[in-house]
A = this chain, B = another copy of it.
């Protein structure tokens, strides 16, 4: 198993010491969306949720050096830029990217430009004279630019040469997105709606205008995060015409298509770094092969979920929750030095019980050869009953299987059990116990409890859970066999005696190759489950509980044999 390299995304932006915006938000987003992140820092900020306290610029030369270090070694799939600070840095970023790829007869990979000019808290993040450089040098390389209202207004004034127009409605957003897209050399434009007021009424009016003007083929409205078609049952609250919305507007230059993404406006202060996060998420989805439209749609949903699942942090505008899209793995990934993490975790979860089971007095006395015969006979009789449950549980496992491979393995186990039963019978004959005595021996409560528990688990849960239940017996006897054999091999002072031990065959059976190979198969099956169907915490807790119960029932089984109960 080698791990494949995830898509590589690179951010060229400022650093936010408080971790909610800038390259920190970008790196968290890349991590949350399973991309490998690299970062070129263009400026440092001393910043927190209440605002930007100070900015320390990075020289254009050092920005260039960082880009060159990354590009010369790592194949970046998608770039995004954030805060670029000044014209010199913008010029350096654009020319370094261009010259690197030109020199390789290659085109610059997709580039998402978040034209960060002013922070939410009002701090200037791009010097004013730099806007023209952004337009002239970076936009021609951009796949998408993602201005908010203020930035779109500024860009529009640059494009028009005056600032008589400003966005105030979603109708303006749509017109300006298209205008900017056409002005700046056919680039895609996403105008973020966070600072543009919109209501359901206005959106409905806009939709009427679309129909009246016969623009249906050019303008789409998506009510994202609102139930889709044929999902009336998911709509719980009536929609009021005065409800406020956030509407992001995407203009795609090539197809001349505009898409409005509408969703309820959430009243929250957790908006620090929203713009950085959105453009970083778009970059990730583009890197994963989604189209521009799909990427924007998915990135908006990712960002919105992050805002709505934000936790309290700081005294101002807190960050969103970037990591809502991942959950902690309960079982570590296997490695060459730790190839059985799941089995190890099960055993470790009830280490004391497991030790009581596999190093039970019964086992020790078997090893020494001192076990009273009647205890062993009682054990064999009860094991005979137990194996019937065990075989039936494997029958249930067959019925729960999804593949012929799984059916084959479970069936082979049943055949092995039937074989074990035959051995029990012939062994009993040797010890003078008739078949009939074996068959009619009363079943102990401990036997019944264990057997019934297996069938209960098999009825209640799925195949994975049943396999965990069945493993405690399979693996435990394997551990006992290996332990006794290894102790016996310690020379003449070893406490385990093989010579003259009447239980020698029993020890050799469980420590022997055939049984141990079944144990190995069992372990491999467990590990495959945990790797291919990694459990949630709840599911893993249930598995550990089942494992612990079976370990205890095994221990009780040997207690029962010693007590002849």
On whether the beta carbons of A312 and B5 are closer than 8 Å, the reply is yes
Taking the nearest CB of chain B, how far is it from the CB of A462, in angstroms? Answer: 4
Q: Is A105 an interface residue (CB 8 A)?
A: no
On whether the beta carbons of A461 and B400 are closer than 8 Å, the reply is yes
In the complex, residue of chain B having the shortest beta-carbon distance to the beta carbon of A64: B46
On whether the beta carbons of B39 and A41 are closer than 8 Å, the reply is no
Q: Is A534 an interface residue (CB 8 A)?
A: yes
Instruction: State which of A49-57, A111-119, A421-429 sits at the interface with chain B.
Output: A49-57
Bound form: Cα–Cα A41–B66 in Å: 15
On whether the beta carbons of A39 and B58 are closer than 8 Å, the reply is no
Chain B positions within 8 Å of A36 at CB level: 19, 311, 313, 319
Contact of A73 among B230, B308, B316 (CB under 8 A): B316
Q: Is A478 an interface residue (CB 8 A)?
A: yes
Contact code string A503-524 (vs B, CB < 8 Å = 1, else 0):
0000000000000100110010
Contact code string A467-489 (vs B, CB < 8 Å = 1, else 0):
00000000100110011001000
On whether the beta carbons of B53 and A69 are closer than 8 Å, the reply is yes
Bound form: Cα–Cα A229–B534 in Å: 25
Contact code string A380-403 (vs B, CB < 8 Å = 1, else 0):
000000000000000000011010
Chain A residues 68 to 87 lying within 8 A of chain B, measured CB to CB, are 68-70, 72-74
Taking the nearest CB of chain B, how far is it from the CB of A510, in angstroms? Answer: 11
Bound form: Cα–Cα A523–B355 in Å: 45
Contact of A18 among B70, B263, B311, B532 (CB under 8 A): B70
Contact of A15 among B15, B19, B72, B354 (CB under 8 A): B15
Taking the nearest CB of chain B, how far is it from the CB of A430, in angstroms? Answer: 29
Contact of A38 among B18, B67, B325, B478 (CB under 8 A): B18
In the complex, residue of chain B having the shortest beta-carbon distance to the beta carbon of A316: B73
Instruction: State which of A24-32, A183-191, A411-419, A437-445 sits at the interface with chain B.
Output: A24-32
Q: Is A226 an interface residue (CB 8 A)?
A: yes
Q: Is A140 an interface residue (CB 8 A)?
A: no
Bound form: Cα–Cα A95–B3 in Å: 44
Q: A46-B65, A323-B31, A536-B534 are in contact. Are A347 and B231 (CB under 8 A)?
A: yes
Taking the nearest CB of chain B, how far is it from the CB of A248, in angstroms? Answer: 14
Q: Is A214 an interface residue (CB 8 A)?
A: no
Instruction: State which of A142-150, A197-205, A336-344 sits at the interface with chain B.
Output: A336-344
On whether the beta carbons of B17 and A39 are closer than 8 Å, the reply is yes
On whether the beta carbons of B523 and A234 are closer than 8 Å, the reply is yes
Copies in the complex: 2
Taking the nearest CB of chain B, how far is it from the CB of A472, in angstroms? Answer: 12
Instruction: State which of A151-159, A252-260, A327-335 sits at the interface with chain B.
Output: A327-335
In the complex, residue of chain B having the shortest beta-carbon distance to the beta carbon of A535: B536
Q: Is A283 an interface residue (CB 8 A)?
A: no
Bound form: Cα–Cα A58–B534 in Å: 44
Bound form: Cα–Cα A337–B305 in Å: 9
Q: A3-B321, A46-B65, A311-B2 are in contact. Are A15 and B31 (CB under 8 A)?
A: no
Q: A338-B225, A351-B230, A536-B535 are in contact. Are A5 and B328 (CB under 8 A)?
A: no
Chain B positions within 8 Å of A475 at CB level: 233
Q: Is A125 an interface residue (CB 8 A)?
A: no
Chain B positions within 8 Å of A31 at CB level: 27-28, 31-32, 322-323
On whether the beta carbons of B523 and A532 are closer than 8 Å, the reply is no
Taking the nearest CB of chain B, how far is it from the CB of A231, in angstroms? Answer: 6
In the complex, residue of chain B having the shortest beta-carbon distance to the beta carbon of A538: B533
Q: Is A37 an interface residue (CB 8 A)?
A: yes
Q: Is A266 an interface residue (CB 8 A)?
A: yes
Q: A225-B337, A263-B337, A329-B324 are in contact. Are A44 and B46 (CB under 8 A)?
A: no
Taking the nearest CB of chain B, how far is it from the CB of A265, in angstroms? Answer: 9
On whether the beta carbons of B47 and A339 are closer than 8 Å, the reply is no
On whether the beta carbons of A534 and B479 are closer than 8 Å, the reply is no
Q: Is A4 an interface residue (CB 8 A)?
A: yes
Q: Is A134 an interface residue (CB 8 A)?
A: no
On whether the beta carbons of B348 and A311 are closer than 8 Å, the reply is no
Known pairs A53-B65, A230-B479, A400-B459 / 10 extra A-B pairs, C-beta < 8 Å: A6-B311, A15-B41, A19-B39, A41-B41, A46-B65, A228-B351, A232-B479, A233-B475, A234-B347, A264-B336
Sample (7) of A-B pairs whose CB atoms are under 8 Å apart: A4-B311, A17-B41, A28-B31, A31-B322, A231-B347, A266-B337, A399-B460
Top 9 closest pairs, chain A to chain B, by CB: A308-B335, A48-B73, A46-B65, A19-B38, A17-B66, A326-B326, A232-B482, A5-B311, A462-B462
